[in-house]
Structure 1
Amino acid sequence: MSKQERWSKLLELLAVDGRLEVEGAAATMAVSPATIRRDLDELADQQLLVRTRGGAIAHGVSYELPLRYKSSRQVSEKQRIASAVADLLTPGDVVGLNGGTTTTEVARALTLRSGGLAERGENSAGPMFTVVTNALNIASELAVRPQFKIVVTGGVARPQTYELVGPLTQGVLNQVVLDVAVLGVDGVDPRLGVMTHHEDEAGISRLLTERARQVIIATDSSKMGKRAFARICGLDRIDVLVTDSGLAPDMAARLTEAGIEVISV
């Protein structure tokens, strides 16, 4: 198991239980306690968790999300999706992220990736990534990390999702240009496109697609073939869809026929 795989697994365990014990994590992952201690120390250095005597506890507002986030399923699938999305991004990219459980995992995966790049001496003088987001929890996680430049849109906060919406949000997005927009969605339909449950969130996600050179959809397979109330955009605007291995072959074929690169992990 590679370091990045161990880190992802540790964060997954932490997301479920809120705390970790070194001995228990070592047994679960079949590695030595010394390895787990080093991993926890490095994750703490990146402020992804807080070290305690004998283990770690969750760090930051992102682990204190509303019920919609706490009850999230497919945690391991979403972390694999997020890691695959992070691998598609190039250092120096300006990346737009909307709110949601999967895009929150993308932000964490970007942190892990940037840490690995820095270890190999691939960091530049400036920020490794510029992230433009309307999600308060994502901004909170990344703002403390010097390898990121964070642009928060402003707007009115939706307490259910920590997303900023409204004319103020639109005003900021109209002034920026993105290399990549990474969107979490609530539904993907071959005829209607990608959708979410709330029209104000859909409007912001739609604007992110319009400001980006490339659009990546990051969603678990439970959203495939589903419909939601508010349409974001058609499939013709999507370049890449990253999902888990539960994607049905016929759905994958239809998306590919629509010109979308489909990545299942």
Structure 2
Amino acid sequence: MFDDRTSALASTPPASGSGKRSRRMRAILELLTEQGAITLQDLVATLGVSAATARRDLADLEQQGLLARTHGGARMAVPTSEIPVRLREGQAPGVKQRIGRAAAALLPDGPLAVAIGGGTTAASVARSLVFRNGLTIVTNSLTTASEIGARPNLRVVMTGGTIRPHSFELVGVLAENAFAAMNVGAAIVGMDGVSAVGGATTHDETEARTNAAMVRNAQRTIVVADSSKIGRTTLAPVVGMRGVHDLVTDDGADPAELQRITDLGVRVHVVSTRAHETN
């Protein structure tokens, strides 16, 4: 059975500025991802807001290039199933914080080189490491680097690469070569999909190649993903589950899928969604 010893462990904002509006805008993008298009009338009914409020949200998202307005509604500007990182920051923040703490607790004390990828869950791990000494953190995430780069007790190394606007990650040949040139004790990566059959996957093939280069030279690979990612397989494979040493998720994940992952030799660590916040 999977390991539940950790179960007790406990960017840039969108133009809207408010957490409530950010959640609405995420909901709009999720609806468009599922349906491709939506009418203003359906949006008002689904979100329980006025037509004027819905129009302002659509106008804001259109200005950011995330959708295209139509007569009486909106459609996706570019087909995608990936929510931009600036809107993902507020998704399940308490759960991601606990996943980050649990993953950080898996790292041994003392000097260590750690590679940390992009995404909000991986960023939560980085935040849990800010008071550690002797760590060298290699990252391709602009968000993570900006948060921890000023810590005098950490040595932070950034890769080069091309910025992915959805995730603020540096990807491509420069990033891949940087990771290939370093040996790290652990690689910590967030994923869009994690399943026994599909392995660890992302929405973007360039990001997947960069993440694959990161884990290739790591002695230990730790995947962090909230329960909504468990059992999913997305477009681009990064690593099969037999290449993953640890998976840290929450107790909303399908137990049967976690058991299948455990059977492949992965140590599965589950944090509770009901743990009290300690902020």
For structure 1, list consecutive stretches of 5 or more residues without a partner in the other structure. 1-7, 9-14, 18-65, 115-122
Pairing partner for 1:75 from 86, 93, 106: 93
2:229 equivalent to 1:223 = yes
Which structure carries more helix by proportion?
Answer: 1
1:102 matched to 2:121? The reply is yes
CA deviation after TM superposition for structure 1 residue 110, in Å: 0.9
Deviates more, 1:213-222 or 1:159-168: 159-168
Cα distance change on mapping 1:85 and 1:16 into 2, 3 Å: farther
For the 8 Å contact 1:69–1:101, the answer to whether it is kept is no
**Identity, % of aligned pairs?**
37
Q: Can you list the C-alpha shifts for 1:116-149, whole angstroms capped at 9, x where unaligned?
A: xxxxxxx5xxxx2100111111111111001111
8 Å Cα contact 2:85/2:168 also seen in 1: no
The separation in 2 between residues aligned to 1:246 and 1:141, in whole angstroms, is 28
What residue identity is the alignment partner of 2:239?
C
User: TM-score of the superposition, structure 1-length normalised?
Assistant: 0.69
The ranges of structure 1 where at least 4 consecutive aligned residues each deviate by more than 6 angstroms after the TM superposition are none
Structure 1 pair 167/67, CA: closer, same or farther in 2 (3 Å)? closer
Query: Which digits, 9 at most, give the CA deviation of each residue in 1:35-68, with x for residues without a partner?
Result: xxxxxxxxxxxxxxxxxxxxxxxxxxxxxxx943
CA 1:168–1:67 in structure 2 vs 1: closer, same or farther (change >3 Å)? closer
* Aligned 8 A contact 2:231 2:254 in 1: no
- Against the structure 1 CA distance between its residues 68 and 141, is the aligned structure 2 distance closer, same or farther, given a 3 Å change threshold? closer
Which of 128, 144, 147 matches 2:150? 144
In our comparison, the structure showing a higher alpha carbon Rg is 2
Task: Report the alpha carbon displacement of residue 16 of structure 1 after superposing the two structures with TM.
Answer: 5.0
- Find 1:84's aligned residue among 63, 87, 102: 102
Task: State the alpha-carbon separation in 1 of the partners of residues 267 and 181 from structure 2.
Answer: 29
What is the CA–CA distance in structure 1 between the aligned matches of 2:19 and 2:125, rounded to whole Å? 17
Larger relative contact order (Cα-Cα within 8 Å, sequence gap ≥ 6) = 2
1:163 and 2:169 aligned: yes
Aligned to 2:80: none
State the 1:74 CA deviation: 1.4
The aligned counterpart of 2:268 is 262
TM-score, reference length from structure 2: 0.65
RMSD (Å) for aligned C-alpha atoms:
1.8
For these two proteins, the number of residue pairs brought into alignment is: 191
Contact 2:176 2:210 in 1 (8 A): yes
Judge conservation of contact 1:203–1:232 (CA < 8 Å) in 2. Answer: yes
Q: Is the partner of 1:212 in helix, strand or coil?
A: coil
In structure 2, C-alpha distance between the alignment counterparts of 1:98 and 1:255, rounded to whole Å = 22
